[in-house]
A and B are shown apart, each in its own frame.
Chain A
């Protein structure tokens, strides 16, 4: 410390550059040098798929910026007023202040429409980005130890993002979103025993009442984004703390991270990427209209338009409710509204199915090591097949949610689509699982072939005795290493059923299940053993190029 203060002496006389003096000042109070030492030249690996998370982060920032602007003009009130604004077709109509002020933002505030559209587009991109980012993390196994908690943080961000989106698009109190809120009320009413109470507490009485816009407003602009901001910061801190994962390749090991430093390359690339994302969304908002509430009109519980759809990320819940048969059970003066309540329960189940996967896999493998090298999806066939099955499930429900649009756009029978979804809900994920696993195993075989026999060069050679052969080019050591770097588990063995004294060993049911799953993951026909050095040597030394 004394040397530090000694070296500070001459600086006080104004010799050090101003930036350095500011940094010294901040370091004396915040300890920024220690922080910068660890992070300023932090290495980040480069791959296009690592940008997906960035898209989410930047669209979240854009949503916050534009959202704050919108709050300056939006009135979260359901008081009915008569419209006197500049949009002629609605003049004289009764509407809530919320709808009225949204019209004001769209027509009188210069740039208001642009900010509204950027806000809405950014929200759609945020959710889509989170979905794709989550799938990237899933299929590459980036959720493995030590990143399981960060996977959950990300999952929570996705779920909260859905509800923030829902409460957000309900705020203008237009006919479309009001219909969505009514749907929500109907779903809440279906909850056994407490449903009506929940509904009355949420809406301050009967639907629609005069409270929900103000309540959704505080949830949309404060409660949920506040939690999400905290989660996102935690998500990022963990990304920094764990250091980024990387794909296998020459020089890349589980103990290092290869890439370029934060300062300057990623400052410029990631910082620049924020502007790219913002720029693209601004252009989209300039040319692509979104949620034209003036064309939809103010909410009236006795009116509706056709083609009523939620925003895409709520579509799978819409699908659940549309294809469910209308089961109702009446008993002892009560009604069990299964036709609505079952979809309401499957909705979280769909989401939880993917959220808990990392924990299931780590239980099956029993692997307690850290994993920083990403898997290629083909090298984890069962995981990949599960992921594709889940996505298939999700998209089948999305089709169900848009059954009316599919019917009108493709001239199909809505009844047929509904029945298709009802069956596909159970069948399609299973088919997707089987097909994906086959494809993965096929790709594994191809990799093995490539390692052992080289790359097909496309050159056909005729041998003196007339035989045609294709010339295979041997792979470089870099390629050989990359294709064989993955690890393969062997299935869990339960051991003999009798111990050395001939007494029967008791194997508990969970252990049996685990062994079964382990076999399904890593058993003989569930992964293709990767080529060994011996195999390679035998083939390469045996008969040259072939």
Chain B
């Protein structure tokens, strides 16, 4: 690729004269100092005039391509040699997977070096003479336009679509109806909602089971200021419907001093100050998990809706639209907390049929 192989007139210097000549034609305009002076003359790069500099660029490009080859070999070596569970400390990243680090760096270098080589090649050794191309209007010339319109009219006329209205109308009818089959086919994407969103796995007599210990809860287990998560008795992690059921049935239990409960219904539905509320936020359904024991506020970490558990779990801040549903609880014969029925209203986000 040395420039000696290129005929004299193809060298940048040769081209330049053409450019200079073109530029000279549009020299400074006395009449209009703002006129377009035309393309400025080409300025040589060092590599265009100094073969030593060009050689240097060539070596740089080759070096980069060689570096890429070495990096690929490094990639293969890392893949073979490094165990996937080896961890290393890299400053400032910290502890990281050695294999991921080695593979990523070698692959990155292998790719980057190819790119850097190609760009360096283009910038220093390929011609940087600017060329002007003509633009042509996008829209067709009037002859083409009238020809196409005439052709279309001819075609439309030959189809007789406008004249034979019966064909046209029935065809439009058929084409309108046929996608309905496709719409019908979507029907079985899912069952109809019915009242499924209104019911949860809670029912009268179902014990409250601690989510962590998987044991039924005694009132004495619930201390003031603690937050306990519960699920209905009989719902197990291995159940097929577990995820869907827990998405509605998740419950949080806190103990308040009965005199601190401001809402009368809340007090009625509690047991010795223990209140049970749906854990599913009424905004868009995130599980609420932050409890501030001094104020009895719970906060949804997703969108920061805040509810006051001492006052019927009404919304005191954030985008939620209504209070958390409360579960009415009591104590079973064996002394465990139990539900006295399902939630009285749908849990989770509001929907059209909620009412």
A residues contacting B by CB (< 8 A) are 42-43, 80, 86, 94, 107-108, 110-111, 113-114, 117-118, 146, 179, 182-183, 185-187, 189-197, 199-209, 211, 241-243, 250-261, 264-266, 268-269, 271-283, 285-289, 299-308, 321-328, 330, 332-337, 339-340, 370, 372, 403-404, 414-415, 418, 451, 477-478, 480-481, 484-485, 533, 536-537, 540
Contacts and interface: CB of A to CB of B under 8 A. Distances in A.
A110 B101 CA distance: 12
Contacts of A484: 34
A190 B302 contact: no
Interface in B284-329: 284-287, 289-290, 301-305, 315, 317-322
A318 to B, nearest CB: 8
Contact of B319 (A114, A242, A279, A322): A322
Given A182-B286, A258-B130, A279 B301 contact: no
Contact of A286 (B108, B193, B317): B108
B89 interface: no
B143 interface: no
Contact of B138 (A299, A370, A485): A370
Contact of A283 (B32, B105, B305): B105
Interface residues of B, number: 105
Contact of A208 (B102, B237, B244, B349): B244
Interface in B98-122: 99-105, 107-119, 121-122
A258 B131 contact: yes
B175 to A, nearest CB: 23
Interface in B195-254: 196-197, 211, 229, 231, 237-238, 240, 242-244, 246-248, 250
A289 B96 CA distance: 9
A272 B100 contact: no
Contact of B286 (A183, A207, A415, A418): A183
B191 interface: yes
A107 B192 contact: no
B112 A111 contact: no
B284 A183 contact: yes
Nearest to B101: A286
A275 B111 contact: yes
Given A190-B350, A328-B322, A110 B35 contact: no
Given A205-B191, A265-B122, A279-B109, A111 B99 contact: yes
A211 B320 CA distance: 28
Q: Which of A204, A242, A265, A275: most chain B CB closer than 10 A?
A: A275
B342 to A, nearest CB: 15
Interface string B122-151: 110011111111110111000000000000
Interface stretch (B36-44, B164-172, B258-266): B36-44
A481 B26 CA distance: 13
B112 A283 contact: yes
14 contacts: A43-B131, A43-B132, A80-B242, A183-B285, A189-B351, A189-B352, A205-B244, A209-B244, A276-B112, A279-B113, A280-B112, A337-B352, A339-B320, A481-B36
A268 B118 contact: yes
B85 interface: yes
Given A250-B38, A478-B37, A481-B34, A326 B118 contact: no
A274 B349 contact: no
A321 B303 contact: yes
Contacts of A182: 247, 284-286
- Most-contacted residue by chain A among B79, B99, B132 (CB, 10 A): B132
B73 interface: no
Interface of B: 28-29, 31-40, 79, 84-85, 90, 93, 96-97, 99-105, 107-119, 121-123, 126-135, 137-139, 186, 189-193, 196-197, 211, 229, 231, 237-238, 240, 242-244, 246-248, 250, 279-280, 283-287, 289-290, 301-305, 315, 317-322, 348-355
Nearest to B94: A289
A80 B239 CA distance: 9
B327 to A, nearest CB: 14
Nearest to B320: A326
A190 B348 CA distance: 11
B118 A269 contact: yes
Contact of A251 (B38, B190, B242, B349): B38
The list of the 3 closest CB pairs from A to B, nearest first, reads: A286-B104, A186-B284, A279-B112
B133 A42 contact: yes
A230 to B, nearest CB: 20
B290 A191 contact: no
B126 to A, nearest CB: 5
Contacts of B250: 301-302
B284 A340 contact: yes
A311 to B, nearest CB: 15
Given A201-B189, A268-B119, A275-B118, A113 B35 contact: no
A43 B118 contact: no
B33 A197 contact: no
Given A207-B285, A287-B90, A303-B287, A265 B119 contact: no
A332 B131 CA distance: 72
A105 to B, nearest CB: 11
Given A206-B244, A276-B119, A191 B352 contact: yes
A114 B103 contact: yes
